[in-house]
Amino acid sequence: MLFRAGSECAGFVVVHSGTVRVSLTGENGREIVLYRVNPGDICLQTFGCLVQGQPYGAEGVAETDLAIEIIPPAEFQRRVGQDDAFRAQLFAAVAHRFHDLERLVEDVALTGIPARLARALLRLDDGSGQVVTTQEQLATEIGSAREVVSRQLSAFARSGLIESGRGAIRLLSRGGLEALAGAA
């Protein structure tokens, strides 16, 4: 756990290797993945905390082993104000991350479960054609309930798109999933 909602920001996190999952949990206990921070990405939660001087509003969890650097708040402010290259890189990363969040809002508000689930499976595939995950994790990933994900995975399996096993899903038709993912 790198940070929790309500905790103060220790500094600007730079990920050199590994992945941090940033998620939000509602009052009802439901969780949704906002984004992942990989090397070269920025964490909007950390950026917002440092710029606005407010505590975190979400949580960040290491999904893999991490190599990170934490730039103290005063050094972060100095670099934003004086280091043109750092500032340009920071603003470009913020714009990219904002685009990711717009896509998340579009997915949750305007896209059906089949397309959202297909996108998640394609995004989580490490290139082996297999996604190691649970139905609960997929539900969190797409902002839905486990039962809904279970029904949709069964439909995907009946259609020959996937083969579902305990803790893993094999992608049988990447093209079919891509076609579904593109349908909004």
Domain-wise residue ranges, the chain: 12-110, 113-182
- Residues 67-79 pLDDT 10s: 999 999 999 999 9
CA distance 161 to 177: 7
pLDDT value for 110: 66
Output the pTM of the full model: 0.65
pLDDT value for 112: 86
- The secondary structure of 122-175 as a DSSP string is HHH--SSSEEE--HHHHHHHHTS-HHHHHHHHHHHHHTTSEEEETTEEEES-HH
* Overall fold of domain 113-182: Arc Repressor Mutant, subunit A (1.10.10)
Residue 100 — pLDDT band, cuts 50, 70, 90? Answer: confident
- Residues 117-126 pLDDT 10s: 999 999 899 8
Please state whether beta strands 67-71 and 59-62 pair in parallel, antiparallel, or not at all (unpaired): unpaired
| Residue 181, both tokens | 């993912």
CA distance 38 to 14: 9
* Overall fold of domain 12-110: Jelly Rolls (2.60.120)
- The secondary structure of 33-92 as a DSSP string is EEEEE-TT---HHHHHHHHHT---SSEEEESS--EEEEE-HHHHHHHHHH-HHHHHHHHH
Helix (H, G, I), strand (E, B) or coil at 11: coil
Residue 44 pLDDT > 90, yes or no? no
